[in-house]
Amino acid sequence: MKKILFPLSLTVLVGCQNLNQPEQEQQSANIVTASNNDVFEALHADESVAVIHPKEDVEIPLTEQDDIQVIDNIWVRIQSQLEFDIPDNSKVRAHRDWYAKHQRYLDRVAKRSEPFLFHITEELEKHNMPMELVLLPVVESAYDPFAYSHGSASGMWQFLSGTGKQFGLKQDWWYDGRRDVAASTQAAIKFLKYLHKRFDGDWLLALAAYNSGEGRVARAMKANARKGRPTDFWNLKLPKETRDYVPKLLGLAALVKEPEKYGVTLYAINNEPVISHVDIGSQLDLSLAAKLSGLTVDELHALTPGFNRWATPPNGPHQLLLPNSKIEQFKKSLSSLDEKDRLSWQRYKIKSGDSLSVIAKRFNTTVSVIRETNDLNNSVIVAGNYLLIPTATQSLDRYATYEQVRQSKLSKKGTGNKVIHVVKNGDNLWDIGRTYKVSGKDIAKWNGFAPKDMLRLGQKLTIWTANDSAASGSGNTVMRNIQYKVKSGDSLARIASKFKVKIADIEKWNNLNRSKYLQPGQILKLSVNITSI
253-277 mean pLDDT? 94
At 435 the pLDDT is 84
The CATH number that domain 344-392 falls under is 3.10.350.10
Q: Does domain 406-529 have CATH number 3.10.350.10?
A: yes
**Alpha carbon distances (Å) from 130 to 54, 84, 109:** 30, 8, 21
At 482 the pLDDT is 75
Q: Which helix (H) or strand (E) covers residue 448, if one does?
A: none
At 93 the pLDDT is 96
Given the residues 140, 214, 241, 299, the one annotated as active site: 140
Q: Could you say which DSSP state residue 339 is in?
A: G
Question: In DSSP terms, which residues pair with 285 in a beta bridge?
Answer: 311
Question: In DSSP terms, which residues pair with 463 in a beta bridge?
Answer: 419
Question: CA-to-CA distance for 29 and 270, rounded, in angstroms?
Answer: 34
Say whether pLDDT at 321 is over 90. Answer: yes
Terminal Cα-to-Cα distance of the chain (whole angstroms):
68
Question: CA-to-CA distance for 150 and 25, rounded, in angstroms?
Answer: 10
% of the chain beyond a pLDDT of 70: 79
At 368 the pLDDT is 87
451 cis-preceded (ω within 30 degrees of 0): no
At 85 the pLDDT is 95
Q: What is the CA radius of gyration of the chain?
A: 27
At 3 the pLDDT is 38
307-311 mean pLDDT? 89
Say whether pLDDT at 471 is over 90. Answer: no
In 10 A of CB 378, how many CB atoms?
Answer: 7
At 445 the pLDDT is 78
* Residue boundaries of the structural domains of the chain: 3-262, 275-340, 344-392, 406-529
Instruction: pLDDT band for 348, please (50, 70, 90 cuts).
Output: very high
Q: What is the DSSP string of 13-43?
A: ---B--TT-TT-SSPPP--SSTT-HHHHHHH
In 10 A of CB 38, how many CB atoms?
Answer: 8
Mean pLDDT of the chain: 82
- 394 three-class SS: coil
Instruction: pLDDT band for 300, please (50, 70, 90 cuts).
Output: very high
172-225: pLDDT as tens digits: 888 999 999 999 999 999 999 999 999 999 999 999 999 999 999 999 999 999
Top-confidence residue, 137 or 57 = 137
**What architecture is the 3-262 domain classified under in CATH?**
Orthogonal Bundle (1.10)
Instruction: pLDDT band for 359, please (50, 70, 90 cuts).
Output: very high
- The answer, as to whether pTM is greater than 0.75, is no
Do domains 3-262 and 406-529 share one topology? The answer is: no
3-class secondary structure for 348-378?
EECCCCCCHHHHHHHCCCCHHHHHHHCCCCC
Q: Which of 225-229, 280-284, 330-334, 450-454 has the lowest mean pLDDT?
A: 450-454
Q: Is the dihedral of CA 230, 232, 235, 236 positive or negative?
A: positive
At 30 the pLDDT is 29
* Exposure b/e, 76-111, CB count within 10 A at least 16 = b: ebbbeebebebeeeebbbbbbbbbbebbebbbbbbb
Picking from 244, 233, 225, 175, the residue whose alpha carbon sits closest to that of residue 24 is: 244
Most confident option among 24-38, 247-261, 398-412, 496-510: 247-261
3-class secondary structure for 217-268?
HHHHHHHHHHCCCCCCHHHCCCCHHHHHHHHHHHHHHHHHHCCHHHCCCCCC
Instruction: pLDDT band for 14, please (50, 70, 90 cuts).
Output: very low
Say whether pLDDT at 474 is over 80. Answer: no
Q: Is 123 labeled as catalytic in the residue annotation?
A: no
231-249: pLDDT as tens digits: 999 999 999 889 999 999 9
429-449: pLDDT as tens digits: 888 888 888 888 888 878 767
